[in-house]
Chains A and B, each alone.
Chain A
Amino acid sequence: MSFKKILFHGLWKDLPPFRLVLGLCPALAVTSSVENGLGMGLAVIFVLVFSNMFIAMLRKFIPDKVRIASFIVVIATLVVIVEMTMKAFFFPLSQQLGIYIPLIVVNCIILGRAEAFASRNPVLLSMVDGLSVGVGFTISLIVISSVREVLGAGTWFGLRVVWDGFEPFQFMVRAPGAFICLGVFLGLMNAYSRKRGELFIQT
């Protein structure tokens, strides 16, 4: 893949969670507000870039048999460092995101990119791949949480953006709204891609 392809593939072609159908749990759970979605997205970008970096650095030394175990140790260490850093500098955000920060360890995007890319590509390209997929994930989270927060609470990033007398659709900031929102976006994206003749179902 060319450098440009690697830089942009996470933004549409392999966009999580819509094209790369991974990371659905946080996409549903933390998108009740834009602030939470952004916070989670930035945490995932950090973990993705550095886990890809370390795994690419070590790819020639890790024997095949302990590959997954090694990846998980690296990823878990980075996630705990993120968790401690968040508690030290962004405590209220860490309270809001709660258990979903440690759950980044089992976010399949990270293990997926480690296995599919970082374990067989050079360090710099792996970091760019991590950045691309991470930014794509963050954009997806912001889009979903924008819709959910505006319709479900009448605010965007905490600022009121609707007219007086607007009754928010409470269910949008709860679980049903998350699923519906995700499903609608996925359907729209698929319809658009189908129209353009893009191949989007991974075989």
Chain B
Amino acid sequence: MRDILRLVVVLSVICGVSSAALTLTRHSLAERIEKQSDLYVRGPALERLFARPAGDLLDNKVKVDLGEQLYPAFYVREGGQVTGLALEAPGTGGYAGDIIIMIGIDLPNERMLGIEIIQHSETPGVGSRVEKASFRKQWVGLPILEPVRLRSQGGQIDAISGATYSSKAVVNGTNRIIELVSQHKDEILAAIEAKEN
């Protein structure tokens, strides 16, 4: 009995100290990691979506509360009006977890400019193929207020063969962003005004 107690206590203490160390490290590095991620991942993604240098866009950033976590949103101003938004959201149901996607939105025309994959842990060579331009170009010009579905479910998006979960996750993320725009667009625009004043 005493031995079992010792096993439990030792293992619990080791796990406890490890968790504390990890939380501390994560907390102190989180901001730096996000800045790096902006520079190396989101920056190039924004450049591709809006055809502008990343340097102009990375400072135009607000945070959107999606319930479980805050996600960044970027905006483009033309002549005083916000004409473009890039919203980020998790797509649930991926093979190995959520796929974080970013959709560029043309506000005046209410269309999508395109989709970028920000982060995923899908199988290399299989699910990772959602990153390919040939898959993502299906999003260019889609209306921003209509939900999307895979072709196998009556919709218009061709999934990657052999990577149904990953394709579905990207579709789920897209619908999350569509929901965000249709229900919270005004709040996002208000947050942008608040930031700049």
Contact = CB atoms under 8 A, between A and B. Distances in A.
Contacts of A88: 29, 32-33, 36
Contacts of B11: 66, 69-70, 73
A176 interface: no
A58 B25 contact: no
B196 interface: no
A66 B36 contact: no
A165 interface: no
B40 A61 contact: no
A91 B40 contact: yes
Contacts of A74: 14, 18
Give the contact-size bracket for chain B: 20 to 34
A62 interface: yes
Nearest to A91: B36
A84 B26 contact: yes
DSSP class of A's interface residues: helix, strand, loop or mixed? helix
Given A84-B25, A88-B29, A63 B40 contact: no
Interface residues of A, number: 24
B7 A81 contact: no
Contacts of B3: 63, 65
A62 B10 contact: yes
A73 B18 contact: yes
B189 interface: no
A58 to B, nearest CB: 7
Contacts, number: 57
A85 B14 contact: no
Contacts of A73: 11, 14-15, 18
Nearest to A85: B29
Nearest to B32: A88
Interface string B106-145: 0000000000000000001000000000000000000000
B6 interface: yes
Interface string B2-28: 010011001100110010011001100
Contact of A63 (B6, B15, B25): B6
Interface of A: 58, 61-63, 65-66, 69-70, 73-74, 76-77, 80-81, 84-85, 87-89, 91-92, 95, 98-99
10 contacts: A63-B6, A65-B3, A65-B7, A73-B15, A74-B18, A81-B22, A84-B25, A88-B29, A91-B36, A91-B39
List the 10 shortest-distance A-B pairs measured between CB atoms, nearest first: A91-B36, A77-B18, A88-B32, A88-B29, A87-B33, A88-B33, A91-B40, A66-B11, A66-B7, A81-B25
Given A65-B3, A66-B11, 9 more contacts: A65-B7, A70-B10, A73-B14, A74-B14, A81-B22, A85-B29, A88-B33, A89-B36, A98-B124
